[in-house]
Amino acid sequence: MRHGGRILVAALEAHGVERVFTVPGESFLPVLDALYDSSIRTVVCRHEGGAAMMAEADGKLTGRAGVAIVTRGPGACNASSGVHVARQDSTPMLLLVGQIARGDRDREVFQEVDYRAMFTPLAKWVAEVGETARLPEYLARAFHVAQSGRPGPVVLALPEDVLAGLAEVADPEPVPPPPAPELRVEAAAVARELTRATRPMAIVGGSGWTPGAARALGDVAAAWNLPVAAAFRRQDYLDNRHPCYVGDLGLSVNPALLQALAGADLVLALGTRLSDVTTGGYARLPEDARLLHVHPDPGELGKVLHPDLAIAAGAPALIAVLAAQSASPGPAQRVAELRSAYAAWQQPRPDPGAVQMAEIVRWLSAHLPQDAIVTNGAGNYAAWLHRYFRFKGYRSQLAPTSGSMGYGLPSAIAAKLVHPDRVVVAFAGDGCFQMTGAELATATQHRTGVIVLVVNNGQYGTIRMHQERTFPGRVSGTALINPDFAALAAASGAWSARVTETAGFAEAFAGARAATMEGRPALIELITDPAAIAPGLALSDLAGD
């Protein structure tokens, strides 16, 4: 006989879970007890939002559901931000929530929440385990749902008496992945469409990709002379140095890329949901172009935009089959012109202030190891990263398509735990960093040598930009009085430095790298001019915009 906590942890082990992210709570003490003897690493976090974002990033990096364990009520509410990231980013994730005892339901007892009502709009599946003996069954279904079709988050509520209860039950057997579909007919149909097109363009995104699939995509693009654009914050799906990579369709897009997309006669959407950001409010795709949409969830096909050819399958599986097809390449000149336009878009213009973010990002792109992982949260500071950094391999970028602030540091910690030998750099704005900055102590405790770049311009810059466009000169609610970030980092046990001019960055980064080699996190505060509101755009440029 084992208590429910031991049964649950044994099920996590059987499903290959290597680490869990948690803020402890009395509602799941039996789980903490079982983790004491487990091979699973317990990563103790400072806030449930940070724990959930770490679990989401773990799922992105491994392709297996990342696991967060939080307590009832406020803990679950705090974790909901990470669940939302997982949902919009199509990331496999499992959130385990301690719950009140079954006999106390519907009395509004201490920290009672109806998790089905709370999480159903955010998750793929929400359930509450009603019997101790059924814990393995629920865990098996949770992992299956989280990792199948369009991956996403699953939430399981765990009543405290279920976890404390005793049962005799066998551990689950690992479920083998389903056999890969053949997709020969579908790949042949895509090949025919590509052959007929004269101005095709691919848009790549979604989940389920691997480094091998990314290389296969490069092979297909080269064989067909197919220009490939990345969906919003999916820029690492094709090596940005590849001659067929032509840029990203995000929040600040190269006008030449938009013009080429508008003139395309065929759009091949590979794995992407074709979200509102990628499609510019569903208006960027030309109406007279044929749309081929490949996505694992049939419910996404035709949800907003109606494809001429819909293929319910994983894009990597289709690409693998398409790579074996005989190619009929299109004109090389068109790809070369788009590639040239991409290179021109990466040439920086001076911004106001002594710290030039474009030059810093370009320096990092040239000097970081090719397998470095770069993360960010949300804010205009990320526009410099997305425009000027060249991502060299799959899963070298972690960025929330949901636009969640605070994501950079937690995801960087998860990345360093999954890949301890790789350099991990997190970008954060001053407002973004303060959402989850307490997790710097988590990085210190678990000896995850991440490097955090805090871009400090003393304001919520994105909102200030929109404010100036809509209500010029009426600054309201966007100014920040910030702490001394370097001192704050030092107080958390991290190495720290402040950069006030571009020329000082390389030396500061060398110091940060030396600290991380010893397992110590590092933070570099970049003091930027508030007028430098976006790449090549000053606040003064917005007057009358």
Alpha helices in 90-180 (DSSP H): 115-119, 135-147, 160-164
* First-last CA distance in the chain: 70
Do residues 74 and 97 touch, judged by C-beta distance below 8 A?
no
Which residues pair with residue 66 across a beta bridge?
93
Confidence at residue 544, expressed as pLDDT on a 0 to 100 scale: 52
Angle CA(74)–CA(80)–CA(83) in degrees, nearest 5?
Answer: 150
The pLDDT assigned to 133 comes to 97
Alpha carbon of residue 37 to chain centroid: 32
Which SS3 state, helix, strand or coil, does residue 33 take?
A: helix
- List all residues 6 or more positions away from 346 whose beta carbon is below 8 Å from its beta carbon: 362, 387, 388, 390
Phi, psi (degrees; rounded to nearest 5) at 538 = -105, 155
Q: Quick: pLDDT tens for 487-513.
A: 999 999 999 999 999 999 999 999 999
Rounded to an integer, the average pLDDT of 248-264 is 95
User: Residue 473's pLDDT is what?
Assistant: 85
Mean pLDDT along residues 437-454: 97
CATH topology of domain 184-345: Rossmann fold (3.40.50)
On whether the CB atoms of residues 424 and 451 are closer than 8 A, the answer is: yes
| Inter-CA distances, 204 with 86, 268, 326, 345, 534, Å | 18, 8, 21, 20, 25
Banded model confidence at residue 89, pLDDT cuts 50, 70, 90 = very high
Q: Which tens digits make up the pLDDT trace of 475-491?
A: 899 889 999 999 999 99
Of 49-53, 270-274, 473-477, the one with minimum mean pLDDT is 473-477
Q: What is the DSSP string of 405-467?
A: TT-HHHHHHHHHHH-TTS-EEEEEEHHHHHHHTTHHHHHHHTT---EEEEEE-SB-HHHHHHH
The domain 357-542 is placed in CATH, from the list 3.30.70.20, 3.40.50.300, 3.40.50.970, 2.40.50.100, at 3.40.50.970
Residues 6+ apart with CB under 8 A from 325: 187, 188, 191
- Give the tens place of pLDDT for each residue, 91-136: 999 999 999 888 888 888 888 889 999 999 999 999 999 999 999 9
What is the rounded distance in angstroms from the CA atom of residue 108 to the CA atom of residue 286?
Answer: 53
Q: How confident is the model at residue 543 (pLDDT cuts 50, 70, 90)?
A: low
Tell whether the torsion through CA atoms of 504, 508, 510 and 513 is positive or negative: negative
User: Rounded to whole angstroms, how far apart are CA atoms 151 and 208?
Assistant: 8
State how far the Cα of 20 lies from the Cα of 14, in Å rounded to an integer: 14
Return d(Cα 106, Cα 113) in angstroms, integer: 9
Matching residue, tokens 């009672």 = 112
Say which residues have a Cβ less than 8 Å from residue 53's Cβ, sequence separation at least 6.
81, 82, 85, 404, 406, 407, 410, 411, 414, 436
Return the biggest CA–CA distance within the chain: 72
At 140-185, the pLDDT tens digits run 999 999 999 999 999 999 999 999 999 999 988 877 777 878 999 9
pLDDT of residue 118: 94
Residue 106: half-sphere exposure toward Cβ, Cα within 13 Å: 1
Nearest-angstrom CA–CA distance, 192 and 194: 5
CA 106 – CA 104 distance, rounded (Å): 7
Strand order in the sheet with 153-159: 41-44, 19-22, 66-70, 93-99, 153-159, 125-128
Helix (H) or strand (E) holding 498: strand 495-499
Looking at per-residue confidence, does 469 or 522 come out higher?
522
284-342 pLDDT per residue, tens = 999 999 999 999 999 999 999 999 999 999 999 999 999 988 888 888 999 999 999 99
Residue 88, SS3?
A: helix
Residue 544 buriedness (CB in 10 A; 0-12 / 13-18 / 19+): exposed
Q: Work out whether strand 397-398 and strand 451-456 pair parallel, antiparallel, or are unpaired.
A: unpaired
- In SS3 terms, 184-195 reads as HHHHHHHHHHHH
Question: Token digits for 383?
Answer: 């526009």
How many whole angstroms separate alpha carbon 152 and alpha carbon 89? 8
Tokens 């606040």 belong to residue: 539
What kind and span of H or E run contains 310?
A: strand 309-312
- The whole-angstrom separation of Cα 344 and Cα 339 is 9
Question: Percent of the chain scored above 70 by pLDDT?
Answer: 99
Phi first, then psi, for residue 265 (nearest 5°) are -105, -5
Query: Could you read off the pLDDT of 360-407 as tens digits, one per residue?
Result: 999 999 999 999 999 999 999 999 999 999 999 999 999 999 989 999
Q: Which one, of 406, 338, 340, 398, lies nearest residue 373 by Cα?
A: 398
- CB-based contact 227:256 (threshold 8 Å): no
pLDDT of residue 173: 80
- Identical fold, 2-167 and 184-345: yes
Count other C-beta atoms under 10 Å from residue 355's C-beta: 23
Per residue in 54-79, pLDDT tens? 999 999 999 999 999 999 999 999 99
CB of 313 within 8 A of CB of 335? Answer: no
- 215: pLDDT strictly greater than 70: yes
pLDDT of residue 406: 97
More confident residue, 260 or 462: 260
Q: Where are the domains of the chain?
A: 2-167, 184-345, 357-542
Class at the top of the CATH hierarchy for domain 2-167: alpha beta
Contact indicator for 287, 221 with CB cutoff of 8 Å: no
Calculate the average pLDDT of the chain: 95
